[in-house]
Amino acid sequence: MYLGIDLGTSEVKAVVIDAEGKLLALAGSPLTVSRPHPRWSEQDPQHWWRAACDTVASLREQLGAARFAAIRAIGLSGQMHGAVLLDAQERVLRPAILWSDSRSTDECAELTRRWNESGDLHQLAGNLAMPGFTAPKLLWVARHEPQLFDQVACVLLPKDWLRLRMTGRKTSDPSDAAGTLWLDVAQRDWSDALLAAGGMHRGQMPELADGNAAAGFLLPEVARAWGLADGVVVAGGAGDGAASAVGIGAVRPGDGFLSLGTSGVLFVVNDKFRPNPARAIHAFCHTLPQRWHQMSVMLSAASCLRWFCRLCSVDEKTLLQEVAALDDEALANAPLFLPYLSGERTPHNDPYALGVFHGLSHEHQRAALAYAVLEGVSFGMVDGLDALRAAGTDVQQLSLVGGGARSAYWAQLLSDALDVRIVTHIGSEAGGALGAARLAWLADGGNEEEVCCKPPQQDCYEPRRMRHAQLQPRLQRYRDIYQPWKPLPSGSA
């Protein structure tokens, strides 16, 4: 059996699969995000460790201690871009700065200036300098917390800090490392030029191992605490996007998926490095050898629906039922919603972008606003797909994963808006944790063709031409609304 642990933003999720890929157990433990100042997002890594231990304990209880002890390898997946700063004694120096943190806007401009002076390093990094990435975070620390910056001996990504606690080794994988802006993505190795531009050096970076390679062994004290045998392999693992791709079987060029989690991701596998930073498209390494991927990212996706449910004190199931009952006239006259609750990456690269309800009247009830939220996120995905197409990548079918995959209504709306077939899979709720477990299986000698098969199809949603045409005027108005808001500084309304 194989254990996959996914360190997300809102929870640590873990699964156990057997040697036929069957999902045997799933568990999770919640996490909270600290926002001590506007545009800040932080978490205490110690909370990750406690949540991971609690989740493992829940899996052990589900399977029974004797059966759980048969696990042969562990894989890791995690939220990308987060900065865990360690001193020379491997002590955490400050709370981890997360992917959704946008305080480092000025540092992005500074990093871009340094890249241009050094010969346009954008193509090397494969991405624009955005506040969510790791390198600008360290420039911010150097500027605002210089005494702490001077103590930084190593920077780890979130899942890799868990690995340090588990194995005593500082290791990352190319898919996660590509999100730092310190990696030569084509060569799948740290870039001395990119590191120097960010005020860092290679000695502060972890080792690199492909996601399907053995990257350490569980420490004896951790094995005892978790009820596992000595010598359990820990795989290289992956950033959450690449891990979800492995979980859904998106491992060959042209394969793709759409993830509706806290953020929204469109992910397509490539056989070579294909950067297009001008459109705010991410070009990263896949976690498997000799593969890359392009990705569009919107910072708020299913989290927009959760936010609206909290505002209205209603559960998602009830709200979605109300939305499904709306007639065509109500849909045509619904408000429009810009889903920029945390700023936006693709296609705007605008940390100051704001969420907007546009076109409200006394006649609108909460169901119409809820529809606008679903539609606004779907339109954000359309913007992402258009950016991918401009970068030379097109798809006809996408697998849908993440919390949003539970809604048949939203899946059909996405298919209509994108004009692409949407497929859901049995077990897709396991997401990155399933991919992490599969990477553990590969590290234990599994065959890629067998391990990385696509899970059984659950439902298929074909785009409806008439509905696609009806959405086009609303899509254009949605795009027009953003423009007047774009120049507003942070805090304006």
Tell me what percent of the chain is helix, strand and coil, each rounded to the nearest 5.
40, 20, 35
Q: Which residues are CB-neighbours of 164 under 8 A, at least 6 positions away?
A: 90, 156, 170
Residue 252 bridge partners (DSSP): none
CA angle, 192 as apex, 191 and 196 as ends, to 5°? 120
Q: Cα–Cα distance between 281 and 388 in angstroms, integer?
A: 7
DSSP 262: S
DSSP 455: P
Q: Cα–Cα distance between 128 and 297 in angstroms, integer?
A: 13
Query: Is 240 considered catalytic here?
Result: yes
Annotated binding residue 81: yes
Annotated binding residue 80: yes
Residue 96 bridge partners (DSSP): 43
Q: Which of 173, 210, 240, 255 is catalytic?
A: 240
Q: Cα–Cα distance between 245 and 12 in angstroms, integer?
A: 18
Of 374, 376, 389, the closest CA to residue 323 belongs to 374
CA 154 to chain centre: 23
8 Å CB contact between 371 and 326: yes
8 Å CB contact between 258 and 401: yes
As to burial, measured by CB atoms within 10 angstroms (0-12 exposed, 13-18 middle, 19+ buried), residue 127 is buried
Kindly report the number of other CB atoms within 10 A of residue 59's CB atom.
Answer: 21
Q: Can you say whether the dihedral through the CA atoms of 50, 54, 56, 57 is positive or negative?
A: positive
* Residue 439 dihedral angles phi and psi, to the nearest 5°: -65, -35
Tally of residues, the chain: 493
Question: Which residues participate in the annotated binding site for substrate?
Answer: 80-81
Give the residue numbers annotated as catalytic, written as ranges: 240
Question: Which residues participate in the annotated binding site?
Answer: 80-81
